[in-house]
Structure formats: structure tokens, C-alpha cells
Structure 1
Amino acid sequence: MDEHEALGLASHRHYKGGLYRFLFEARHSETEETMVVYEHLWPHARAPWVRPAELFYGRLPDGRLRFQPLGGEEA
């Protein structure tokens, strides 16, 4: 998939430049922590990933969002 195709599916851009599609939130079976399930689209092979919601929605030390919603909205 090239960057243009990925942009058609992507919901977020990682601070390092990659494109991702938010899929859904889930709950960890042991800790009940909210997790975000998302798909890496570009520049590497498509693959599902999961990370704690706190990290997915979180900010870097410099204040930038780790995953910036496309369209420029800030959480």
C-alpha cells in the first residue's frame, strides 16, 4: 500500500510519520485496562496492534499527541 492509498483508510498519523487506522477500544481481561486496537497501514506491512488507551491518546514530553487525528483535531 502506498501513502496515498493509506490516507484513504487512515484515522491517525503517528508522530514519526506512519499512518494508522483506529479500529476499536477493548478491555484487558486481567487488568480491565482500556486498550486501543488499531491497524498500521503505512509505511510498513499492514498489521493489527494494541496499546493502552492512555498511551494511544497520550502526549509526548514536548506536548505533541503520539497519534494525531487526521483533520487536525486535538484531543
Structure 2
Amino acid sequence: MNSKEFTNKINDIVKEKKPITYIDAIVHYCESQNIEVETTSRLISKSLKEKIKAEAINANMLKIKKGGTLPV
């Protein structure tokens, strides 16, 4: 399996099982295929990483630096 196929499968899971997150979709896919989650890191494409990052920021799981702005 290559990165593109993996990304397509994860996107399909997210579309089918809304409101599942991309992280949960990856875990779900790994469990259903008996794959270790740790082995999928090489399969995660840049676009999928960006979607995961956006979800993590929205869920306050990641801190983003907001330098150079004063509170109003």
C-alpha cells in the first residue's frame, strides 16, 4: 500500500462515518486491518497531516504560536 491509497481509504472512512475525526479514522482502519498504528506514519501524506493538525488545533490538542500580536 502506498501513501495515496492509504489517504484515500482514510478519507472514505471519514466521509462514511461522520463525525469521526481523521485520527480516529486511522485508528479504526488499523484495528480493522490488524495493523500497528505506529507503522502507518510512513503512509500519512502531507495533506492528511494538515487535516490532522487542523483538527488537533480546533480541539485544543495543539498550541499554536501567535507571536507579534497584542490583545485587544
TM bracket (short chain): under 0.3
More strand by share: 1
Query: Structure 2 length as normaliser, TM-score?
Result: 0.24
TM-score (norm 1): 0.23
Max radius of gyration: which structure?
Answer: 2
